Amino acid sequence: MSRPSLKWCLPALALVILAVISSASRAGEPQVIEISARRFEFVPSRITVRRGETVTLRLRSQDVAHGFYMKPLGIDATIEPGKSIDVTLTPKVPGSYTVICDHFCGAGHGNMHMEIIVE
């Protein structure tokens, strides 16, 4: 049985080291979920996050100012057009949470909402 040559071992070792380094650097940073707001919806309309895991919601408006409000999750933000706003949360209690737009944005304002599922 021949031993694998050094020529093949080194690139494989380098890949393993790179994988370890990149997963270590990702571990400390919250996952970022991009959410787009526009009359009269949020896209995506539903996201799932894990209990106890910190996530950053990166909110952007495509048209006018919208609200982003869900009291039990501690979320109360205004999404101004042309700006991006980050909301970071670490949900503690599993469940389904409805985030509403609480900033009047037009005729369909009352139907503008999305779900955050915490599992």
Pairing of strands 46-49, 113-118: parallel
What secondary structure letter does DSSP report for 56? E
- If one asks whether residue 116 binds ligand CUA (CB under 6 A), the answer comes out as no
Single residue of 105, 114, 116, 118 touching ligand CUA by CB under 6 A: 105
**Span interacting with ligand CUA, options 2-10, 12-20, 86-94, 101-109, rule CB under 6 A:** 101-109
Cα separation, 51 vs 96, in Å, equals: 12
**In whole angstroms, what is the distance from residue 97 CA to residue 80 CA?**
23
Q: Is residue 101 within the footprint of ligand CUA (CB under 6 A)?
A: yes
Site string for ligand CUA, 23-42 (x = CB under 6 A): -----------------x--
Tokens of 83: 């700006």
Q: CA-to-CA distance for 113 and 37, rounded, in angstroms? A: 10
* Dist CA 67 CA 105 (whole Å): 9
Coil, helix or strand at residue 8:
helix
Residue 104 binding ligand CUA, by CB under 6 A: yes
Residue closer to ligand CUA (CB basis): 42 or 73: 42
Q: Which stretch binds ligand CUA (CB under 6 A): 8-16, 19-27, 89-97, 103-111?
A: 103-111
| Residue number with CB closer to ligand CUA (69 or 97) | 69
| Contact residues for ligand CUA, defined by CB under 6 A | 40, 66-67, 101, 103-105, 109, 112
